[in-house]
């Protein structure tokens, strides 16, 4: 597998708005995060950009990701949408541009939007390109298309209750790094008895155990929090080492519990 391009942990900004988004990103950067994940659909690219400028952290030190929404996948529109994203963010280019979801019902052919994404990279709008919420079949199809050889990641939902093991292992086998969103299952990990028990053994929180487990699988994690002490704890989870036995206990929690499942989602691979 190629050397990983993405920092091992990033700061997710889904559902963060307005001043709250600005302060959360500034706090994350002050604590040491150097990977910020946003998207056109989040409606907070301008706030993320403002936070970057106000943080005092040099632009070249931050790995910045955004995502193209499903209504902007046509060739010319995709490139125009990324230019709009750059304007909102106040940067010359992003470090990673993702296709947020496969085109619903394949309305826009994959060949068209992957070629456009590769063109955006060639134009200097982004350093790297990737996809999000792609199934095994879609990843294979994408890698075989012109531009597909440039894909560096597939961002998918991964947490102890949705290991997504088949997709993760397939992507990794094909040299595509996996980024795991919702690694804390929107807070549900905190109430799990197994995670609580393992956390007590290490003197940490169930959230830290969940993050350490996802990261132990070679997956980039992008947790989100507006509270600085939670942001710090999430960073510290990257130094937590779980035993093989503890990892097996967490593996057993997988129940194919998918949180992000809109009506336009692709047909998911079986667990």
Token couple for 7: 């920092």
Residues 260-265: contacts with CB within 8 Å, 24+ apart?
A: 260/133, 260/157, 260/181, 260/182, 262/101, 264/70, 264/101, 264/104, 264/105, 265/101, 265/133
CA-to-CA dists, residue 54 to 20, 59, 90, 134, 190, angstroms: 14, 11, 12, 35, 33
Token couple for 184: 């804390």
CA angle in degrees (0–180, nearest 5) for 189-213-252: 70
> CA–CA separation, 89 vs 45, rounded Å?
5
> CA–CA separation, 210 vs 84, rounded Å?
36
Q: Which is catalytic among the residues 33, 42, 113, 181?
A: 42
> CA–CA separation, 64 vs 110, rounded Å?
24
Q: Using N-to-C axis directions, what is the helix angle for 136-143 and 110-122, rounded to 10°?
A: 60
CA-to-CA dists, residue 66 to 46, 136, 187, 253, angstroms: 12, 22, 24, 31
Q: For residue 202, say whether it is annotated as part of any ligand binding site.
A: no
Please choose, from the candidates 121, 133, 216, the residue with its C-alpha nearest in 3D space to the C-alpha of residue 181.
Answer: 133
Q: Which residues pair with 96 in a beta bridge?
A: 65, 128
What backbone phi and psi angles, to 5 degrees, belong to 101? Answer: -145, 150
Our answer to whether residue 42 is catalytic in this structure is: yes
> CA–CA separation, 271 vs 269, rounded Å?
6
Which residues are identified as catalytic? 42
Question: Which residue numbers belong to the known binding site for substrate?
Answer: 100
Binding residues, by number, are 100
């Amino acid at each position: 597998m190629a050397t990983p391009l993405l920092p091992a942990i990033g700061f997710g900004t889904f559902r963060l708005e307005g001043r709250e988004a600005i302060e959360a990103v500034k706090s994350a950067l002050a604590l040491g995060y150097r990977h910020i994940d946003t998207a056109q659909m989040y409606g907070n690219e301008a706030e993320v950009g403002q936070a970057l400028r106000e943080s005092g952290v040099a632009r070249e030190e931050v790995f910045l990701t955004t995502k193209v929404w499903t209504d902007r996948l046509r060739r010319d529109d995709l490139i125009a949408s990324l230019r709009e994203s750059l304007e909102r963010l106040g940067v010359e280019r992003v470090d990673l541009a993702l296709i947020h979801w496969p085109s619903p019902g394949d309305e826009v052919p994959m060949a068209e939007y992957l070629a456009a994404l590769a063109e955006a990279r060639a134009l200097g709008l982004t350093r790297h390109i990737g996809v999000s919420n792609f199934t095994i079949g879609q990843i294979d199809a994408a890698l075989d298309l012109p531009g597909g050889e440039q894909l560096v990641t597939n961002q998918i939902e991964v947490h102890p209750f949705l290991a997504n093991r088949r997709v993760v292992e397939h992507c990794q086998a094909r040299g595509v790094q996996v980024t795991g969103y919702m690694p804390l299952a929107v807070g549900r990990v905190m109430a799990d008895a197994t995670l609580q028990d393992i956390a007590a053994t290490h003197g940490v929180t169930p959230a830290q155990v969940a993050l350490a487990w996802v990261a132990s699988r070679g997956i980039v994690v992008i947790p989100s929090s507006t509270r600085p002490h939670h942001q710090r704890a999430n960073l510290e989870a990257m130094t937590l080492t779980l035993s093989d036995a503890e990892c097996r206990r967490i593996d057993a929690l997988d129940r194919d519990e998918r949180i992000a499942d809109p009506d336009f989602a692709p047909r998911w691979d079986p667990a």
